[in-house]
Amino acid sequence: MEKSHDKIWDNCLSIIQDNVSTQSFKTWFEPIRPVKLAGSVLTIQVPSQFFYEWLEEHYITLLKKTIKKELGSEGKLEYSIIMENTFSSAKPYTVKIPTSNRKDVRNPSVSMPIDLNSKNTIRNPFIIPGLKKVNVESQLNPNYSFENFVEGDCNRLARSAGFAVSQKPGGTAFNPLLIYGGVGLGKTHLSHAIGLQIKHLHPGKTVLYVSSEKFTHQFIDAVKNNNQNDFIHFYQMIDVLIIDDVQFFAGKDKTQDVFFHIFNHLHQTGKQLVLTADKPPVEMQGMEQRLLSRFKWGLSADLQVPGLETRIAILEKKLYIDGIDLPREVIEYLAYSITTNVRELEGAYISLLAQASLNKKAITLELAKQMIDKFVKNTAREVSIDYIQKVVCDYFDLPIELLKSKTRKREVVQARQIAMFFAKNMTKSSLATIGMHCGGKDHATVLHACRTVNNLMDTDKRFRAYIDELEKKLSIQ
């Protein structure tokens, strides 16, 4: 009995799943649909040209091996590009504003020992003699949960450690847990998620999130009001203390000193500390060595810039939460264009929704391109394919018409391949677009050119020098 195209593709997926990461599988293989099986040719449907090119560039070897294993040595794969999520409706968009973190305005002071808006910030919570526990409002944002935190290769260690801490606060080797990384990579989100999960699993524990700046201001007020002991005793009663941006303690000797004593007490009594910073302890300047050594007692886990798959997953999660449907090609374009951090990616997404809503326009790839160009105008300007070709031709003293011609002369072919290589690395153009600019070549020729250039860079020092010089010329423009 012959196998159906669905069965063949299911078998392929089971092999592929064992050879790629979970996030990559979800991003690049789950959206694929098998269409038909004609002899030894399996046709699969992919949602966009970009999607197809990414598979061809990154997974073609795996796909070939898998198809040949299922269909034999004659097995082939064909693509059908159908953009399912085309967005034709012109209805305006609405961005949901979360309401779950509103405070109860009927009695706002009942659960807040630290009134963050009052000048008298410290004294009030500590006036009851013999107080064992304080009903502390945790200051956590309910939207920053583990459910809303997208896991990827960039954050897997930090997330796993954070989740372990939330299951058993104070009872793991990750105490303190120091989460560090650049701006907008999810440090605050993850620290809130840990606190929220602890509150859910251990409702009897007192959890408090506070920024280093707020902690410092509270301490200064305590010194002014001669309430330092009350300040210290209050923080020593916390079961889970989350301090955001500890690097801002740098240069504040007295604040570091009081935090040192609070840290020691909490650690010695089995309480959990979660800290965030923009760099690891070894790189922190202006901090006391005794404090830095304590930061190293537990685990320091870094958050890195998310890869393309993780950026796509983050956008898809946002869309799901907001109940909004976007064309796949728009999601891909946003994720491909905004590479710096998650905060900028979400900012671009919100800006796109606002543009569409205010102008009553449908969200299309063209609108996304217009918005992204404005959104990233302060970053480095993208080099054009034409400019790259001009620089390469000037460098090798070739007329640009020759570069775009069909000639197979060795020096022209090499210059053309170098132009394709830089166009792929320095522009957001698709492989097909790059090929079209270079004399009507197809995407496979562009891929071959990029691989050839990479191989020559590794094996030919003189060729590597060409590339380095051209890269400098192109980065100056």
Secondary structure in 3-state letters for 372-434: HHHHCCCCCCCCCHHHHHHHHHHHHCCCHHHHCCCCCCHHHHHHHHHHHHHHHHHCCCCHHHH
Contact (Cβ atoms closer than 8 angstroms) between residue 227 and residue 262: no
CATH class as words, domain 385-476: mainly alpha
Is residue 244 very low, low, confident or very high in pLDDT (cuts 50, 70, 90)? very high
Please give the pLDDT value at position 383.
65
Look at 23-27, 114-118, 254-258, 261-265 and tell me which has the smallest mean pLDDT.
Answer: 114-118
CB 418, CB 441: distance < 8 Å: no
Distances (CA, A) of 283 to 62, 194, 277, 473: 41, 25, 11, 34
Is the pLDDT assigned to residue 472 strictly greater than 60? yes
What mean pLDDT comes out for the span 254-279? 91
Predicted local distance difference test score (pLDDT) of residue 19:
85
What's the fold here for domain 134-303?
Rossmann fold (3.40.50)
Confidence of residue 94 (pLDDT cuts 50, 70, 90): very low
Q: Confidence band (pLDDT; 50, 70, 90) for 96?
A: very low
Pick 5-81's CATH classification: 3.10.450.50, 3.30.300.180, 3.40.50.10860, 3.30.300.210: 3.30.300.180
Rounded (5°) CA angle 413-449-465? 75
Mean pLDDT value across residues 143-167: 87
Per-residue confidence at 122, pLDDT binned at 50, 70, 90? very low
pLDDT digits 0-9 by tens, 167-192: 989 888 888 999 998 888 889 999 99
- Is the predicted pLDDT of residue 357 greater than 80, yes or no? no
Whether pLDDT at 378 is above 80: no
pLDDT score, position 2: 58
Residue 133 pLDDT > 70: no
pLDDT value of residue 103: 34
Nearest by Cα to 198 from 240, 150, 139: 240
At residue 200, does pLDDT exceed 80? yes
In 3D, which of 129, 266, 271, 276 has the Cα closest to residue 205? 271
Global pTM value: 0.60
Check pLDDT > 60 for residue 233: yes
| Tokens of residue 384, six digits | 């054009």
- Candidates 351, 342, 407; CA nearest to 377 is 351
Under a CB-based contact definition with an 8 Å cutoff, are residues 474 and 422 in contact? Answer: yes
Is 308-375 a domain of CATH 1.10.8.60? yes
* Backbone dihedral region for residue 39 (phi beyond 0: left; psi -120 to 50: alpha; all else: beta): left
83 confidence band (pLDDT: 50, 70, 90): low
pLDDT bin (cut points 50, 70, 90) of residue 375 is low
Decide the pairing of beta strands 240-244 and 207-211.
parallel
Dihedral sign, Cα of residue 394, residue 395, residue 399, residue 400: negative
Predicted confidence (pLDDT) at residue 112 exceeds the cutoff of 80: no
User: Which one is predicted more confidently, 427 or 70?
Assistant: 70
Tell me which of 15-19, 174-178, 304-308, 380-384 is least confident: 380-384
Q: Domain ranges in the chain?
A: 5-81, 134-303, 308-375, 385-476
Alpha carbon 11 to chain centroid, angstroms: 31
Share of the chain above pLDDT 70, in %: 85
**Please, which pLDDT band fits residue 1 given cuts at 50, 70 and 90?**
very low
Query: Taking a C-beta distance cutoff of 8 angstroms, is the pair 208, 139 a contact?
Result: yes
Mean pLDDT estimate for the chain: 80
CB-CB contact of 183 with 345 (8 Å):
no
- Minimum mean pLDDT among 193-202, 223-232, 286-295, 330-339: which range? 330-339
What are the distances in angstroms from CA 50 to CA 25, 54, 155, 330? 16, 6, 26, 10
Average pLDDT estimate for 156-174: 88
Closest CA to 275 of 377, 353, 158: 158
In 236-323, beta strands by DSSP E: 240-244, 272-277, 299-303
